Each structure stands twice: as C-alpha cells, then as structure tokens.
Amino acid sequence: MPTKIPFSNSVLVLFGASITKTFSREVSSSFPFEETPDQLQTLEDIKKDLSLEKPMDRIVCGDVGFGKTEIALRTAVMAADSGFQAAFLCPTTILAHQHYSNFKERLKKYPINLALLSRLQSK
C-alpha cells in the first residue's frame, strides 16, 4: 500500500542571478559542522547527476538531524550557480517558514532571491 504524504501547499523557491562557481564553495564552507562521509558521497553523486543531460532521479533519505536539508540547500545552490532555479517543497507550513528563515540568513550575502509561497501568503 502506498504511503500517504501530507501536503500543505508550502513551497520555498530559490532562484539565482549571475553567480560564479565560487559561490557554491563559499556556501559549502559556511556549514558550521563537519560533513559526514555519507553527506560528502551524496553531494558527489548529485554533482555527477547534475552534469548529465537528463533529469536527476534521486531521493535522499535519512533520520532527523542527519543533514538532508544541507544536502538539499547545496544542491539548490549548485543549480543557482549554473543559472537555474530551485524549489523546496515542505510537508508543513511551519517547516517552510523555518527553512526560509534559515536559508535567508545563510544566503544573505549572495545574489540570490528567496521567496516563500504557502497557504498563509495572500500575494
């Protein structure tokens, strides 16, 4: 039987202006923790996927606190670094707001536009 995933109409969108490849390295180096071997391997696998001429088909699974959000943020930054847009889909409005606040703080010195779209926004 398929698992039901809750959906609350929350989307966090990240889209970049002209950004240099240095940007991805700077964001990675601003991570306040040491990456685990699994995180580093996952990032390398994602970099390879993004270099292919087909859509990436990947899911990152892990327990709470294992760094999945950091992987997602860095993947979005890699996309922005290459001139693309990225979107985060969150299962709850609260989580969307938390990610938005954290990403806004973390990316404030970079030429990145962040937008939050949820059921609570009227515009």
Among 8, 20, 12, 38, smallest CA distance to 78 is for 20
8 near 118, Cβ under 8 Å?
Answer: yes
Would you kindly state where each structural domain of the chain is located, as residue ranges? 10-117
pLDDT score for 21: 64
Superfamily of domain 10-117, CATH level 4: P-loop containing nucleotide triphosphate hydrolases (3.40.50.300)
Average per-residue pLDDT in the chain?
80
Q: Is the pLDDT of residue 121 over 90?
A: no
pLDDT for 2-58, tens place per residue? 444 444 444 444 444 334 466 788 888 888 899 999 999 999 898 888 888 787 788
- Positive or negative, the CA dihedral 21, 18, 32, 10 is negative
Q: What is the pTM of this model?
A: 0.76
